[in-house]
Chain A
Amino acid sequence: MNINDEHLKELEDEAVFVMREVAAQFEKKVILFSGGKDSIVLVHLAKKAFWPAKIPFSLLHIDTGHNFEETLKFRDDLAKELEIELLVRLVQDSIDRGKVLEETGINASRNKAQSVTLLDAIEELKIDVAIGGGRRDEEKARAKERFFSHRNEFGQWDPKNQRPELWNIFNGHKNIGEHFRVFPISNWTELDVWQYILSEKIKLPKLYYTHRRKIFSRNGVYLAWAPFMQLKPAEKVFEADVRCRTIGDITCTGVTLSKAKSLEEIVSEIAATRVTERDGRYDDKRSEAAMEDRKKEGYF
């Protein structure tokens, strides 16, 4: 109610409503926390929904081990500040236990392997709802996602058999072993998220602002360089002023050349941009239905 922009306020009201439905309809509830801006916005919305009580959710981070240092510190500090439980499950453990094979080769990424670790965590911790920061504007397959997305006992999504979702009535009924993914910011666009961060003055990791970093270019996308990444012969590492547009696993997170130091500057930049943020996500470039396939397997 303290937001001036009418459309942002309506999106916030809707997301807060969804958060409260989750709190009322489920038992073991987590926010999937990646340290990225969308999950940080989710935490802020949860604060709003339950003030002055504590957030009734734990944070669950599926850690690929390929992180930006700062994200981890940000995550730990946030959980401490909110006095909520932080659960971390490692993709490395799933690999060591032989549950998933590590990808090899030049484009190797642990992004896909995360699904296995996530589903294992859901089973182990008896999680019946995982709140995610997915937005319908991100990608074609996500455009059809419900707010309350039902997953069968294998954690899979069936896009052809989704529950109809009418008015503001969300049906979270399920059988034992099944769970839900809930997406409170389904209707937000990238620009909405940034405008909201600006208007609510939400604290973000510094990676989102301009900083000097070693990067290289691959298939037209700038990627942050890290010591464990394999380079093709022609690829050269160089330093530049960049900021992250999304933050995920370091191996597939693209960076943007930018000198934006403040939220205002970032918002202007996003408003003027001509490519989607997923353009910088190497994982989506693999095939036309890449996201749909990963979602069916149980991806975020």
Chain B
Amino acid sequence: MGINGESKYKSLLRFITAGSVDDGKSTLIGRLLYDSKSIFEDQMDHIVQSSKRLGRQEVDLSLLTDGLRAEREQGITIDVAYRYFATPERKFIIADTPGHIQYTRNMVTGASTANLAVILIDARKGVLEQTIRHTYIASLLDIRHVIFCINKMDMVNYDEAAFSNIKTDLLVLVRKLQIEDSHYIPISAKFGYNVVEPSENMRWYQGKTFLRLIETIEIKKDKNSREARFPVQTVIRPLSEEYHDYRGYAGRVAGGTFLQGDEITVMPSLLKSKIASIDVMGKTFSEATAGDSITITLEDPIDISRGNMIVKSGNLPLTSQDINLMACWFNERPLKVGRKYLIRNNSNETTCVIKSVNYRMNIDTLEKDIANLTINMNDIANISIRTSKPLFFDSYSKNNITGSLIFIEEGTNETVAAGMIMEE
């Protein structure tokens, strides 16, 4: 046992919440924090005061997550807000992402680091365009687990048929989008039913409560486990007396497992060597796996710099200058075919030109649109690019670190798009 008798191996789960404006997302999060006793007294005092001032009849738990002044004034969430809570089993990081049409980019942002997506649906309204959009984005970003919370069950008299009908519609969607693991829970965030505690009103629901489900979902297997990938962030050369000849490559393992003694190949030079040591502040480890921040030393003094990638020999990434990807456009200025952008894939930066827009995804109907190829802010499209030098990568579905990139506009330096590399 660890500190405070808590489990020593408490894990971390990151999830996003998505829903339409009034689906009760903020209320659900407020409820989770409140019922898991993660709201502190001073925060609660604050909410009680604010609720009164705003003339709400009950304490409005959604006020807990609406962070910025504009949101408090308009009562809407306009940017990704991160929230934290823990139970004895797990620590949770919630990315609360907005449901407005104009803020798709925020959901994509939140989804890029999430293990799980929670999608809220109003039991009175059922599956809406937004539901399709949110589920599509979850599948596009390759989130393996999706929980559909059918909220406001109190407004439909806790009717099982209302829930089942929505679930039937969702199953069709989930199959179409090939979501691996989906769950369906009838809840009332307002009253807390099936959030942390089960409800007498919905005895027909035999499944886990929402909290129990997110505490127990297995996420370990999801990590980029197959291809061993190590993008080099920086080279460590102390040049001190004690470590005069030390040359270490610092980075975070992006996939697979590296063992001391492994034969490795450096991308793009294709030079080969063996791992001499895996170091973390004076300690040497025999292996490192996806997610570990480490420093690798090699047996041979070969030239490696930031932007290079160390991989296990015999399992090399793809190398190409012509890349097909799904891109989500973030900028007010539309995408321009023929224009050059900087792209960043891991620690590697290069220039690319957008060759073509192949189709625009209609994310409300899931149809490929080839008639209107103007890509505006919040649009998702399949595009082809050509890079100024070969890129080494995996497809996004194999590895979401080596298979993802961002587009940076020269001049403004803004991140204008995110891209997920498609299978060849």
Residues of A within 8 A of B (CB): 1-2, 4-7, 10-14, 16-17, 20-21, 23-24, 47-54, 136-137, 140-141, 143-144, 159-160, 162-169, 171, 173-175, 186-187, 189, 191-192, 195, 198, 264, 267-268, 271, 273-276, 278-279, 288-289, 292
Contact = CB atoms under 8 A, between A and B. Distances in A.
B88 to A, nearest CB: 11
A278 B45 CA distance: 14
A52 B239 CA distance: 9
Contacts of B295: 51
B401 A271 contact: no
B105 interface: yes
B365 interface: no
Given A24-B347, A144-B68, A160-B78, A267 B4 contact: yes
Interface residues of B, number: 80
A195 B233 contact: no
A167 B401 contact: yes
B238 A159 contact: no
A174 to B, nearest CB: 6
14 contacts: A1-B288, A7-B12, A20-B233, A20-B234, A24-B306, A143-B82, A143-B83, A144-B67, A160-B78, A167-B113, A198-B3, A268-B3, A275-B42, A292-B69
Nearest to A175: B413
Contacts of B86: 189, 191
B257 interface: no
Interface string B263-288: 00000000000000001111101001
B80 interface: yes
B41 interface: yes
Nearest to A135: B84
A53 B293 contact: no
Contacts of B3: 5, 195, 198, 264, 267-268, 271
A152 B70 CA distance: 21
B112 interface: yes
A137 B91 CA distance: 13
B338 to A, nearest CB: 22
B324 interface: no
B233 A169 contact: no
Contacts of A168: 113, 252, 401
B117 to A, nearest CB: 15
Contact of B68 (A51, A141, A271): A141
A289 to B, nearest CB: 5
Interface stretch (B163-171, B206-214, B243-251, B386-394): B243-251
Given A23-B234, A163-B414, A167-B404, 10 more contacts: A5-B2, A10-B12, A52-B240, A53-B239, A167-B113, A169-B344, A186-B82, A187-B93, A273-B40, A289-B69
A171 B415 contact: yes
Contacts of B11: 6-7
Contact of A1 (B248, B280, B418): B280
A187 B86 CA distance: 13
Contacts of A2: 280, 283
B42 A13 contact: no
Given A7-B12, A141-B68, A288-B50, A1 B84 contact: no
Contacts of A267: 3-4
A7 B10 contact: yes
Contacts of B8: 4-5
A154 B79 CA distance: 23
Interface of B: 2-4, 8-12, 40-43, 46, 50, 65, 67-70, 72, 78-84, 86, 90-91, 93, 105-106, 108-109, 112-113, 233-234, 236-240, 242-243, 246, 248, 250-252, 279-283, 285, 288, 291-295, 306, 330, 342, 344-347, 400-401, 404-406, 408, 413-415, 418
Complex A-B, nearest 4 residue pairs according to Cβ-Cβ distance, in ascending order: A173-B413, A7-B12, A16-B293, A140-B67
Nearest to B243: A52
B423 to A, nearest CB: 18
A187 B82 contact: yes
A2 B294 CA distance: 12
A165 B242 contact: no
B293 A12 contact: yes
B250 to A, nearest CB: 5
B105 A164 contact: yes
Contacts of A140: 67-68
A51 B418 contact: no
Q: Which of B236, B243, B293, B413 has the most CB of A within 10 A?
A: B293
A143 B242 contact: no
B255 to A, nearest CB: 12
A24 B9 contact: no
Nearest to A21: B233
Nearest to B233: A20
B82 A136 contact: yes
A276 B4 contact: no
A151 B401 CA distance: 27
Contacts of B405: 169
A291 B295 CA distance: 38
A23 B235 CA distance: 10
B292 A1 contact: yes
Contacts of B344: 169, 171
A184 B220 CA distance: 24
Contacts of B109: 164-166
B408 A166 contact: no
Contact of B238 (A6, A53, A274): A53
Nearest to A188: B84
B285 A1 contact: yes
A164 B252 contact: no
A271 B4 contact: yes
B177 to A, nearest CB: 20
B250 A13 contact: no
B105 to A, nearest CB: 5
A13 B46 CA distance: 34
A169 B406 contact: yes
B68 A136 contact: no
A278 to B, nearest CB: 8
B108 A164 contact: yes
B294 A1 contact: yes
Contacts of B294: 1
A48 B280 contact: yes
A7 B9 CA distance: 8
Contacts of A160: 68, 70, 78-79
